[in-house]
Amino acid sequence: MYRFYFKQNGEQILLPVAPSELVTKVGGESERVDLVDIGAGSILKDIGLRRISFTVLLPAVQYSFVQTEGSFKAPIFYLNQFRQYKMSKKPVSLIVFRKLADGSELFSGNIDVSFEEYTVVERGGEQGDFWVEINLKEYRKISSTTYKMEKKGEQTILEEFGAKREGKEIPNTYIVKVGDSLWKIAQTMLNDGSRYNEIAQKNNIVNPNSIKVGQILHLG
């Protein structure tokens, strides 16, 4: 079961229905150059900002699959909130908790994003339901914050976990230690556990769970 939260200025909202698909696009910032007597070439630059997109259902009634914390909220509540995010010109934290059907937790992650654009769709015959196509762009800052879930009655509070870590220079390599996982390494070294797949790709690791103690991983 997935739970999607947005959080800004200490205020959080839980999306009523987890999107059926979450798309993260990682692009490059290569620059095209034209060289005399050689032709076109490329200058490779740092990895680009991630772009995230998904479509969320805002139901008009409280169906059995709707996720709530406290009272049920009508679509207009979320539409107003999305508009406020766009108008604020400030980053928003997208926080995703991932759990399997047996209750075991996959990696969870949070990323600061900007609300680039969103499209509201109404479909005939759906009695007031709204579908919102949301496009986000990674927002990079100097420090990062990790969240944990704390249950307080029916309400889930997203608490900051540990102290904020100031931005640091990322080393080129890392030696795997006992108890390490790619998610843990990405969280510790890159300040974002969800970037574990980048480490796997850079080191040609097919199975992210198959790292070995003493293995040297390339980070830069």
Question: Tens-of-pLDDT digits for all 220 residues of the chain?
Answer: 788 999 998 889 999 999 999 999 887 666 666 665 666 666 666 677 889 999 999 999 999 999 998 889 999 999 999 999 999 989 999 999 888 777 777 777 788 999 999 999 998 887 899 999 999 999 876 555 667 777 777 777 777 665 444 445 667 788 888 888 888 888 888 878 888 888 888 888 888 888 888 888 888 6
Structure confidence at residue 38 (pLDDT): 61
The amino acid present at 121, given as its one-letter code, is V
Structure confidence at residue 120 (pLDDT): 96
Which of residues 152, 167, 182 is at a domain's end? 167
Alpha carbon distance 5, 131 (integer Å):
17
Which of residues 125, 142, 167 is at a domain's end? 167
Kindly state whether residues 42 and 139 are assigned to the same domain.
yes
Kindly state whether residues 92 and 110 are assigned to the same domain.
yes
Domains held by the chain: number: 2
Alpha carbon distance 23, 185 (integer Å):
23
Kindly state whether residues 84 and 190 are assigned to the same domain.
no
Kindly state whether residues 196 and 136 are assigned to the same domain.
no
DSSP lists the bridge partners of residue 174 as 217
Alpha carbon distance 139, 84 (integer Å):
17
Structure confidence at residue 58 (pLDDT): 96
> Phi and psi dihedrals of 190, rounded to 5?
-110, 0
Alpha carbon distance 121, 28 (integer Å):
31
Alpha carbon distance 14, 203 (integer Å):
36
Structure confidence at residue 163 (pLDDT): 46
Kindly state whether residues 24 and 83 are assigned to the same domain.
yes
Kindly state whether residues 139 and 43 are assigned to the same domain.
yes
Q: Give CA angle at 197 (146, 178), nearest 5°.
A: 75
**What's 219's domain CATH number?**
3.10.350.10
Structure confidence at residue 137 (pLDDT): 92
Return left, alpha or beta for 184; rule: phi > 0 is left, psi -120 to 50 is alpha, else beta. alpha
Kindly state whether residues 16 and 42 are assigned to the same domain.
yes
**What's 55's domain CATH number?**
2.30.110
Kindly state whether residues 177 and 195 are assigned to the same domain.
yes
Kindly state whether residues 127 and 200 are assigned to the same domain.
no
Kindly state whether residues 22 and 81 are assigned to the same domain.
yes
Q: What is the pTM of this model?
A: 0.59
Structure confidence at residue 22 (pLDDT): 92
Domain limits for position 214? 168-220
Kindly state whether residues 183 and 153 are assigned to the same domain.
no
Kindly state whether residues 52 and 129 are assigned to the same domain.
yes
Alpha carbon distance 123, 126 (integer Å):
6
Q: Residue 5's closest CA among 190, 193, 156?
A: 156
